[in-house]
Amino acid sequence: KWLHGEGIKVIVYAGWGMNMEAPEWKDYGMEMVTLPLKNTGYGTFHQSMPSLWQDWFVFKTAQMIKDYDIDGLFLDSATSVVLTENYTEGMRWVDAKGKLRGSYPLLATREWLKRLYKLWHGELKPDGVIYNHNSPPAIMMIENFADVRCPSEFAQHHEGAFDRKFLDYYVAKNGGEQFGLFIEHTSKDWMGEWARKKTNQLFAICL
């Protein structure tokens, strides 16, 4: 309320994964994570987008908007699509040689972000902000349902001169504006040599 009085929007950090400290974990947490289990740190396991995690996340977000009148979400790595072998969500299959295979939940991830976008752009808030931080190259069929994209915290793994080849790589990794999605870059002091290398790359791109 105080921040709104100062004309400041409040955007809440929302990381990846399902946290084991969530009250829902005890009853149905294992139904919301990918198989095989992927420990994603900070007490979390990677979420399964086609599972009821999607409904749970959207519902909890709506609840937070109503309780705290927040203006947006900073999503950290949540749209990074990972291979999953969940049977009940139909993500697991067996090839002709009998080998177990997984699938990438592209459509489920798109649907999740689309639902959040609608929540922040008309359903509960007229002009909310979805700030999507995802380091890999953008999958635009998913990430177009965001207002801002922060592509990476790190420098590019490309050796050589700042030539056409490097520029093409840079756009593929960090692009988005050509699809109508605003891009914000970041370099952090704690990254040391990485940050200094990336700063030089940003200056070169601008020049």
For 152-190, what is each residue's pLDDT tens digit? 776 666 677 778 888 887 777 777 777 888 888 776 655
pLDDT over 80 at 6, yes or no: yes
Query: Which residue intervals of 23-105 are DSSP H helices?
Result: 25-28, 53-68
Residue 136, token pair as written in the block: 């890999």
Residue 171 is predicted with a pLDDT of: 78
CB-CB contact of 113 with 65 (8 Å): no
For helices 164-174 and 193-206, the axis angle rounded to 10 degrees is: 110
Alpha helices in 44-192 (DSSP H): 53-68, 106-118, 140-143, 164-174
Question: What pLDDT digit, counting tens, does each position of 31-56 carry?
Answer: 999 999 999 999 999 999 999 999 99
Amino acid at site 128: G
pTM of this structure: 0.87
**Three-state SS at 158:** coil
The residue to which tokens 């009085």 are assigned? 5
Average pLDDT of span 10-38: 94
Predicted confidence (pLDDT) at residue 110 exceeds the cutoff of 80: yes
Q: Which residues contact 2 (CB under 8 A, 6 or more apart)?
A: none
Is residue 116 within 8 Å of residue 73, measured between CB atoms?
Answer: yes
